[in-house]
Amino acid sequence: MENKLTYKAAGVDIDAGNRFVDMIKPAVKSTFRPEVMTDIGGFGGLFGLNAGKYKEPVLVSGTDGVGTKLKVAFMADRHDTVGIDLVAMCVNDVIVTGAEPLFFLDYFATGRLDPERHAKVVEGIAEGCRQAGCALIGGETAEMPGFYTADEYDLAGFVVGVVDKGSIIDGKTIKPGDAVVGMMSTGLHSNGYSLARKVFFDRMGLTPGDNVPELGGTVAEVLLTPTRIYVKTILGILESVKVKGLAHITGGGITENLPRVLPEGCTAVIDKKAWTPLPVFRFIMEKGNIDEAEMFRDFNMGLGMMAVVDRADAEKFIELAEKSGEKAFVVGEIVSGERGVEYIG
């Protein structure tokens, strides 16, 4: 007689899933704000919007993933940082409108659930939410044998924020003469990893544990540095400075992202000598024999967030950013011309 099949025999372990949920509960609850109205385990997350705080509240949503940076995490068997990246890629997109991130949801899919290892991912997501001040209000864990390999997983994140209609940052008031301010990144953030992996692992033959003296650490330490979350710093700056435009520098680099917030008739002239990127960018460019123009289109090149402000407000912006622990510089100006970016220096 044939053995009876079970879901576990097919590759899905419900008991492991329940254990996983129990393991992540403390981390998830640590992110809850007073507006959270549900506990973990329900079918939907309830969040009470304090509408009285806003004249005309506008909800702002965003979604993103971590991309092939996950491949480095798999190679290094290190899973405590990619959750921060997941949150960062979403909340940094939402804050450019001036919106405060309220709550976050994650989707975690894997070939085989490993509660101990994968709890580290969710703990990273919770850390990212704490840094951004938003609640991890829900998520989905999918064990999908045959779709993903047993040792791999994928992540997607979703965030909802709110901003008063009259306070939306949309770039419409940007004009020639305005200053462009750049805020330093922590490294590659979560973009350009298909190219970075090609350089580090294929062209140079390095492994995640190899130490690279000129980069100040191992390959894994450099490539798995979490994406900077700028939310609390920017929310603080907005209380004192009129910010006309914000750009999250992600895939496409400065070249593709900064023009997204510029109105027609405005060109951003960026002085490449105005800041010093971390050594990893020069390392990738030289070891990979990559043109500088390609680098500026593929990576953030040391600036994870950029702002456009009135020239008279640039110094105040930088002062407030530095009080929050960020490094910021005037890196360019807005001039008349076709919408886009020009580089000097």
Give the pLDDT confidence of 156-190 residue by residue, as tens digits: 999 999 999 999 999 999 999 999 999 999 999 99
With H, G, I as helix, E, B as strand and everything else as coil, classify residue 164: strand
At the topology level, CATH places domain 179-344 in Phosphoribosyl-aminoimidazole Synthetase; Chain A, domain 2 (3.90.650)
Task: Answer whether residue 35 shows pLDDT above 90.
Answer: no
**Mean pLDDT (whole number) for 48-58:** 86
Superfamily of domain 14-167: PurM-like, N-terminal domain (3.30.1330.10)
Read off the pLDDT of residues 275-306 as tens digits, 9 standing for 90 and up. Answer: 999 999 999 999 999 999 999 999 999 999 99
Task: Answer whether residue 149 shows pLDDT above 70.
Answer: yes
Read off the pLDDT of residues 243-275 as tens digits, 9 standing for 90 and up. Answer: 999 999 999 999 999 999 999 999 999 999 999
Say if residue 281 is exposed, middle or buried (CB neighbours under 10 Å; 0-12, 13-18, 19+).
Answer: buried
Residue pair 141/108 in contact (Cβ under 8 Å)? The answer is yes
Backbone angles phi and psi of 81, in degrees to 5: -115, -25
| Predicted TM-score (pTM) above 0.85 | yes
Q: What is the pLDDT of residue 2?
A: 63
Fold agreement between 14-167 and 179-344: no
Distance, CA of 107 to CA of 143 (rounded, Å): 11
Domain residues of the chain, as ranges?
14-167, 179-344
DSSP state of 145: B
Q: What is the pLDDT of residue 312?
A: 97
The C-alpha angle with vertex 187 and arms to 221 and 118, in degrees rounded to 5, equals 50
Could you list the beta-strand ranges (E) of the chain: 57-65, 100-110, 135-143, 153-164, 179-184, 211-212, 217-218, 243-248, 266-271, 303-309, 328-336, 340-344
